[in-house]
Amino acid sequence: MNNISAVRYILASSVILSHVAELMGFRSSFVSHWPIPSYIAVGGFFALSGYLIFGSYERRPVVTDFLRRRARRIMPAYISIVLMCAVGMVFVSSFPPVDYFISSEWWCYLLANLSFLNFLQPTLPGVFSEYAEPAINGSLWTMKVEWMLYLSVPLVAWFCGRFRFNRSRVAVVIYLLSVAYRLLFAWLYEKTGNDIYLILGRQVFGQLSFFYTGVWIYANYNRFHTYRHWIAIVSLLLFLSAGYIPYYDYILEPAIISLLIIYACTTGRWGTWVPVKGNISYEMYLCHFPVIQLLIYFGFSDFGFWPCLLVTMAISALVSKIISSN
């Protein structure tokens, strides 16, 4: 995958772009025409994970070793950003320092976020409480999904081996079940108007479609590689026709986005100038949200969209370098 490092930076930058516009209230024509909104970018990350992680497990199918390697990759930066926010946000809290650190809300934030249950306590005492979106780090919800997707790999691999099922067909079945899950919760939302169904619809079962498209491509890579240009052309045409296809977002989008992203990663050498070693796209994804919230706090949003985006990217890169080197 010659271009994977560059693609990861593009996906992370797309999430940052969307969040700068959304949280700071900018109505940028550039953002509205950008083809990779945050949800698609997150799905793209899951597709890459499916492609890479399933193969990694098959090459060394030891569950404890597999989980240890995954934890070694994602936990240090994750724990660092949770602790940095929990401790550092005292300087922008309306609570006195003593009250801040003894607050039950602070301890709940620390415990909930370190255990990936971010939805239980997304805020800190007296921090951003007047914001329309007071969450400290709204990007962390994907990490519990990522872990659940990782945990599905040994289970699916065992299932395929135990019952001698073709892994490609199993991946397709999982995709269809994931699509059915998303359609069900979309229907429930339309019937009730309750946002909880939108939230549940994008949780782990809703993301299996992206992840297991990546698995399907891994399992059929020779065929994918042979016909990759035709696959990309058809996928791109479907992507451009999305507005005319009923339920495209739910039925076709995970497959289309996953195919295009892995095509971009594996075709040509356009992204080889971006080094794979030292890639901080994951760390930038983790830390950009609180950076944006702090820029809003200090009134930086008055400077306009592009200065805010560039400063967010620069600070996020700097913080990412620091936490990745520890």
* Nearest alpha-carbon partner for 86 in 130, 124, 60, 46: 124
226 in a structural domain: no
Indicate whether 304 belongs to any domain: yes
> CA-based diameter of the chain, in Å?
63
Instruction: Give domain status of residue 85, yes or no.
Output: yes
Please check whether residue 239 lies inside any domain of the structure: no
Total count of domains within the chain = 1
**Per the domain annotation, does 116 fall within a domain?**
yes
What is the chain's Cα-based Rg? 20
Describe the chain by its helix, strand, coil percentages, rounded to 5.
75, 0, 25
Half-sphere exposure of 176 (CA within 13 A, CB side): 6
Cβ atoms of 149 and 211 closer than 8 Å: yes
Domain membership of residue 230 (yes or no) is no
E strand map for 10-59: none
**What is the DSSP secondary structure assignment for residue 241, as one 8-state letter?**
T
User: Containing domain of residue 85, as a range?
Assistant: 4-218+254-324
In a domain, 155, yes or no: yes
Query: What is the residue-level pLDDT of the chain in tens, covering all 326 positions?
Result: 789 999 999 999 999 999 999 999 998 888 888 989 999 999 999 999 999 999 999 999 999 999 999 999 999 999 999 999 999 999 999 999 999 999 999 999 999 999 999 989 999 999 999 998 999 999 999 999 999 999 999 999 999 988 889 999 999 999 999 999 999 999 999 999 998 998 899 899 999 999 999 999 999 999 999 999 999 999 999 999 999 999 999 999 999 999 999 999 999 999 988 888 889 999 999 999 999 999 999 999 999 999 999 999 999 999 999 998 76
For 220, half-sphere exposure in the C-beta direction (CA atoms, 13 angstrom radius) is 19
Reading the block at residue 92, the tokens are 């922008």
- With beta carbons less than 8 A apart as the criterion, state whether 300 and 308 touch: yes
Cβ–Cβ under 8 Å, residues 262 and 47: yes
